[in-house]
Amino acid sequence: MTSPRTTLSLVDTDPAELAVDAIVIGVHSQTTEQESGSPAGALLLASGAESIAAAFDGKLTETLALLGATGGPGEVIKLATLGTVTAPVVAAVGLGPEPSGAAPAPETLRRAAGAAVRALAGAARVALALPLPDDADAPAALRAVGEGALLGGYRFAGYKTKPQPARRAPVAEVLVAVPDAADTTAQAEVTRAQAVAGAVRTSRDWVNTAPNELRPPSFADAVATAAREAGLGVEVLDEAALAAGGYGGILAVGQGSEAPPRLVKLTYTPEGGGNGKRVALVGKGITFDTGGISIKPAQGMWEMKSDMAGAAAVGAAMLAVAALKPSVAVTGYLPMAENMPSGTSYRPGDVITMYSGKRVEVLNTDAEGRMILADGIARACEDGADYLFETSTLTGGQVIALGKKIAGVMGTPELCERVRAAGDATGEPAWPMPLPDDVRKGMDSDVADISQVNAGMDRAGHMLQGGVFLREFVTDDVAWAHIDIAGPGYHSGEATGYWTKGGTGVPVRTLLHLVDDVAANG
């Protein structure tokens, strides 16, 4: 099910003269009296809105303040223009305190654009006259505005059978005001923002789809169809091919469901071979997770439709890779299964022979993600990779340790630092975590090569146990990073910034930034 799409373009017409349904400007909060002599608490107009302010005879900020505007981040106040400018509505979006001697950070602009476009649902055409720097930081700022606008306007199509009178249609067209709409660098940023945001929206659509409509075979079909249309190489292993290939982890998790498991491999090969490096992306695709025999509590289990957010992110990122054409080879691996309790489910106490040949003692069938990922990782290493990035809604321990917006990262220290830097650059924060020896020691098994969890630690170090287990399936010559998005992959609260309720698309933008980083720097 595809969400309505928003188009994005540039415009260099005076914002006061734009023929749009609404014009968005930025306002800063002011907490102390500044050199301008403005009293503490007054609003400060951000750059880009000068002609709008002039049309209001200098009374724009005063009027917005009377309407309750504070300039707080993400706050949106709408004002009827009554003919003072061409647009019938001015929407002022808060940017927080004015940064000293600099334009707002890209993430501030990304969130502001998202909040404004979402608040203007019902308007067909919206223009953004937000502050953009005129230096080397301009491309990143413009990219952020574009991404925020396209993602803030996202709405899942849903399943309602009757029209909802209160649900106004998302904004159809967004124009971003810039000094020169024909500038090639600016145009390139718009193209990239459309490709990246389109991938994030696709990822969100897959995550938000009802789990009865996106079981492993249908999920694999959806990804494969989109990938073929994008020009990617596609290989889909069904249950027979998985059995013939020895993918014990994927098969074990999937054997409890009547919907059989899949492994989807997507391949992008750059023209001329690129820079010679190979990137592997691996994503967890548990289309629904009951916990299996080790069944989960009922409360909140409905959110387990999002347990395939890692695979959704990898599949969507590969679509953007096909569009952006980086100079590095990229291959995506999406192991998919449905973890259900039944007479054929795998059990605590089972010993599973994995794709790598390693034997795993199962202690908890709810630790299923690491089982399918281990097979995907082993296949990626066998195929050849210099850098491996794996992402998954793997552990509740990630949420306990880092909350719902910061991913946990484990793996090769240098690569973990690159993931952290990529997260900072894209607004998808991640924090490196250790892989302690004592966690691994507790996973020694009496009957197999390794147990699935550290029984002695129970829930202690839960996130770290996942990383330690996955490390066993990465070959020594591959730099790797495991990105646990159990919290950031799904947003159950109200919409904020460019996040809407449901799937977030994290970490699509991080993965694409990392691919660019490897393409540029190896």
Percentage of the chain exceeding pLDDT 90: 90
Specify the DSSP element, H or E, that contains 78: strand 76-80
Give the residue from 118, 127, 189 showing the smallest Cα distance to 148.
118
CA–CA gap between residue 299 and residue 325 (Å, rounded): 43
| Amino acid letter, 150 | L
Q: How far is CA 509 from the centre of its chain?
A: 6
> Hey, what's the torsion of the CAs at 136, 137, 138, 141, to 10 degrees?
170
Strand partners, 482: 390, 410
334-358 pLDDT tens trace = 999 999 999 999 999 999 999 999 9
CA–CA gap between residue 332 and residue 347 (Å, rounded): 29
Q: Is the pLDDT of residue 107 over 70?
A: yes
The CA-based angle 458-461-464, given to 5 degrees, is: 120
409-462 pLDDT tens trace = 999 999 999 999 999 999 999 999 999 999 999 999 999 999 999 987 777 889
Q: Is the pLDDT of residue 35 over 50?
A: no
Q: Is the pLDDT of residue 163 over 90?
A: no
388-404 pLDDT tens trace = 999 999 999 999 999 99
In angstroms and rounded to an integer, the radius of gyration of the C-alpha atoms of the chain is 24
Residue 41's pLDDT is what?
Answer: 55
| Amino acid letter, 288 | F
Burial level of 133, CB count in 10 A (0-12/13-18/19+)?
middle
Q: Is the pLDDT of residue 273 over 90?
A: no
CA–CA gap between residue 463 and residue 208 (Å, rounded): 25
The encoded tokens of residue 90 equal 């001015």
| Amino acid letter, 319 | L
Average pLDDT, stretch 34-60? 80
The encoded tokens of residue 491 equal 């947003």
Q: Is the pLDDT of residue 40 over 60?
A: no
CA–CA gap between residue 145 and residue 189 (Å, rounded): 10
Average pLDDT, stretch 488-498? 96
Residue 167's pLDDT is what?
Answer: 74
Beta-carbon contacts of 189 under 8 Å, excluding residues fewer than 6 positions away, are 139, 142, 143, 146
Q: Which residues of 10-43 are buried (b: 16+ CB within 10 A; e: fewer)?
A: bbeeebbebebbbbbbbbbbbeeeeeeeeeeebb
| Amino acid letter, 380 | A
Q: Is the pLDDT of residue 38 over 90?
A: no
Do the Cβ atoms of 500 and 155 come closer than 8 Å?
A: yes
Helix, strand or coil, per DSSP, at residue 29: strand
Any idea which of 167-181, 220-234, 252-266 has the lowest mean pLDDT? 167-181
Token pair 């690129």 is at which residue?
Answer: 274
192-209 pLDDT tens trace = 999 999 999 999 999 999
Burial level of 238, CB count in 10 A (0-12/13-18/19+)?
middle
**DSSP string of 206-223?**
HHHS-TTT--HHHHHHHH
Q: Are strands 89-97 and 76-80 parallel, antiparallel or unpaired?
A: antiparallel
The encoded tokens of residue 84 equal 């003072």
CA–CA gap between residue 222 and residue 228 (Å, rounded): 10
Do the Cβ atoms of 127 and 11 come closer than 8 Å?
A: yes
What are the backbone dihedrals phi and psi of residue 196, each rounded to the nearest 5 degrees, phi first?
-70, -50
Global pTM reads 0.96
Q: Is the pLDDT of residue 33 over 70?
A: no
Give the residue from 462, 452, 314 showing the smallest Cα distance to 390.
314
- Check residue 391 and give left, alpha or beta (phi > 0: left; psi -120 to 50: alpha): beta
The encoded tokens of residue 238 equal 């069904």
Q: Is the pLDDT of residue 36 over 70?
A: no
Q: How far is CA 285 from the centre of its chain?
A: 15
Which residues belong to the active site? 296, 370
Average pLDDT, stretch 45-71? 94
Percentage of the chain exceeding pLDDT 70: 97
Specify the DSSP element, H or E, that contains 67: none
Do the Cβ atoms of 370 and 466 come closer than 8 Å?
A: yes
Taking every pair of Cα atoms in the chain, the longest distance, rounded to a whole number of angstroms, is 81
287-326 pLDDT tens trace = 999 999 999 999 999 999 999 999 999 999 999 999 999 9
